[in-house]
Amino acid sequence: MTQADRVALHGLRARGHHGVFAHERAEGQPFVVDLVLHLDTRPAAAGDDLARTVHYGIVAEETVALVEGEPVDLIETLAERIAAQCLTHAPVQQVEVTVHKPDAPITVPFDDVTITITRSRG
């Protein structure tokens, strides 16, 4: 990819029921998602036209719906689902997804658990 325009969303928060343990599925827990969408923003800027860029409000709503939706065992799987959904938006050529699981069931003190993936078209 030759251009480097980015639209970023940081700190999307939702409650999900993801995890391998029964209590994670039953009780749920907070998840936080950061997205970096790579696209060419020049066509949108040239015409001041929302239809020629990515509507980040819609992307945010879709991401929260995935976090709140069907449970999965792994945050890796959740990140893949989010990346795939982001890439359904025609202008988006690449996406970086970070899923935070700040209340992961770990027995030692910690700040956060994250997975970060980068996916591109074709």
Q: Which residue type is seen at 84?
A: A
30 classed as catalytic: no
Residue of 3, 13, 115 whose CA lies nearest to 60: 13
Q: Determine how many CB atoms are found less than 10 A away from the CB of residue 24.
A: 19
DSSP per residue, 72-109: -S-HHHHHHHHHHHHTTSTT--EEEEEEE-TT---SS-
Please identify which of the residues 98, 101, 106, 118 carries the catalytic annotation: 101
Report the C-alpha gap between 28 and 11 in whole angstroms.
Answer: 18
Compute CA distances 36 → 14, 19, 47, 92, whole Å.
Answer: 18, 24, 23, 10
Catalytic residue IDs: 101
